[in-house]
Amino acid sequence: MSTREILLETAEKAVRRRGYDGFSYADLSAKVGIRKASIHYHFPKKEDLALALMMRYRETVIKDLERISKQHTLAGKRLSEFVDIYRQALGNCDMLCLCVAFSSGPDSLNKDILEEITCFQTEANAWLTEVFELSIKDKTILNVIDSNNDAAACLALVQGAQLVARAADDIMEFEKAVAGLMNRVKT
């Protein structure tokens, strides 16, 4: 793994655990075992690092969503897998998904990072809209009336459920929050 990739991996874990403002290049330097000047070589400013993180994260999640679509023909199974991504991103309730971690402190982020977050949200919402549209045909998610509204509500639900579970340090808070949605999925 290249130094750049090691920095991205380490920084992502730091942001997901402590938020964007919760780590510095000095922290990253100590964790990776390189000088701060070396970090600045790869990412001149912290904003450059954050943008690279968000771009990489968006690409990874979108690939995961594409994989889910290829592996599962039923909307209910796709939705279950989507919720599972957010469940797993909690770790032991000591992390958040990167998008949620960044979104919880938008005042510290520049325009480019915020645009990348919006891009992620838009792409995830579009994928979810397709899932809810499919469910109208295959009937594996109950009570779908407006796929756009259901998609937006689902995305907000899983992201908010992460915050609640993280604050409570209890995965059951995530499970309780998503239970109503998951009860609509026919297996």
Average pLDDT for 175-184: 98
Please report the pLDDT score of residue 104 as a whole number. Answer: 84
**Considering only CA atoms, which of 77, 97, 105, 76 is closest in space to residue 159?**
97
Model pTM score: 0.94
DSSP character string of 19-80: -GGG--HHHHHHHHTS-HHHHHHH-SSHHHHHHHHHHHHHHHHHHHHHHHHHH--SHHHHHH
The answer to whether 11 touches 49, Cβ cutoff 8 Å, is: yes
Domain over 47-182 is classified CATH 1.10.357.10: yes
41 token code pair: 């070589």
Answer whether residue 87 shows pLDDT above 90.
Answer: yes
* 187 pLDDT higher than 80: no
The pLDDT score that the predictor gives to residue 90 is 96
Quote the pLDDT of residue 24: 94
Model confidence at 174, in pLDDT bands (50, 70, 90)? very high
